[in-house]
Structure 1
Amino acid sequence: MASRLSDEGRMMAFDMTPGTSFAIQGVTRHFGPVHVLRGIDLVVPQGQFLAVIGKSGCGKSTLLRLLAGLDKPTSGNILRNAAVQERAGTRIMFQEPRLLPWARVSANVAVGLTGLPLRAEGESRTAAILEEVGLGARGGDWPSTLSGGQRQRVALARALIGAPSLLALDEPLGALDALTRIEMQQLLERVWLEKRFTAVLVTHDVSEAVVLADRVVVLDAGKIALDLAIDLPRPRRRGAAEIASFEQTILGQLFNAASSEAAAL
């Protein structure tokens, strides 16, 4: 964990750490009397796949919104490297695809180029990213003709087309059926391995977190209750004993937190 320093000291310490994607230091977020985040300290290296997990209301999505720049902390600092700070440096993918129903698939993907000086090569870049997510032949289709998994592939392509340094994922696979979800997990892992952006995934799915992430952070009552490195080779085999061991560690933390909260009531 980062040490508690002055704002100036925090900035200096962060600047002196090469290869860091972002640092969250002493961050709180209050909504009136409700304290959602209570002093988060987290340093994430460039290219790491981080999963954030916890029960509903623990602050997962709030933390992701702060990281993506959609909200501001009540106190504390979120420090980003130069690549993440750039205009297209951070992109976010939500649970719903949020596609424009009046625009064809290729046009929906091209929305991700907004603000980038790429107009001349926009069509070729759109076609290439659709090919990467397995929808190379669907660029001229309407979103309404796609399945749920295909619409999420379009949303992923839209997020990736600007080549972000940081991709924030707010439970993007939560509404998919089990088989489609596994396919999308495999796609997300493949694209991340190829492009090596920093990924931050918020999920309720412990298995998904262990299969995909290099590191899992468990939030409880607005604080980090567990910070666990998943030091397993890839590809990871679902159901393997080593996967189950990590899952049990995370579930143990989640259930212990729930038991403690119940006992306090």
Structure 2
Amino acid sequence: MSPLGYTDYASWAVIPKETPPAVWQNGWAIDVFLVDSASELKGRSGKQLDKKEQTARLQGRMLEDGLTAIGPVYAPLYRADAKGDDLARAFLIYLRKHNHGRALVIAADTPLPDALLAEIELEPDLMERFGGFYRIGKNPESLTLIEDPAQSAEVYCPVHLVESGNCVKDIPTIRDNGFSLLSPDSAVGESAAMFSEWLHANASPMAEPLGDLEEVEIVDIRRPGDTDERREKKSDRN
């Protein structure tokens, strides 16, 4: 299977139809980056892959229904044999093209690879607006969240979440017609509201970035006495 291109919306199981407002436009808001096991693509034929992709999109929408209590949801498709590389690239594209300074949380029902988690540490200023992990599943407390058993999720969380015990939040799910849904008592809205309150009280939204090229003022440099009138007379003589 060829690598997925995450600038293409077709490479996402879930992605907002319209770009949410940047933080420098509307102030603090929160995104959800969802790593869903159903979005893992594998199959021996095109027909199998198409079916898997269709299921991934349906399952993604089911989880999106509950997670939108936090904010817009971004759930990339990814190849089973390139999970780390695909998720890291998807996360980087999300940060560069879609995030626009908004706060975010990562929700997952599958172990998160090192390549993805490394981007949290590498991205400037991300830690301040990172709201931790939402571990989702029928028995979320039993889920191994970090692929590397030697690492703890707390390594990737800001201090205030670690100290308050809110680095990892367990979100139970229920099954309905073969799909997972957030349990009605999951309380994701309440935890998101607490994070939003913390952001407004403790964090400053980033300013709108400058463009790649600075505006350059073009100055017409002339010798003394070189006026427009003199140039016109010279032009008439010629």
TM-score, normalised with respect to structure 1: 0.28
The one of the two structures with greater contact order (alpha-carbon pairs below 8 A, sep at least 6) is: 1
**Higher strand residue share:** 1
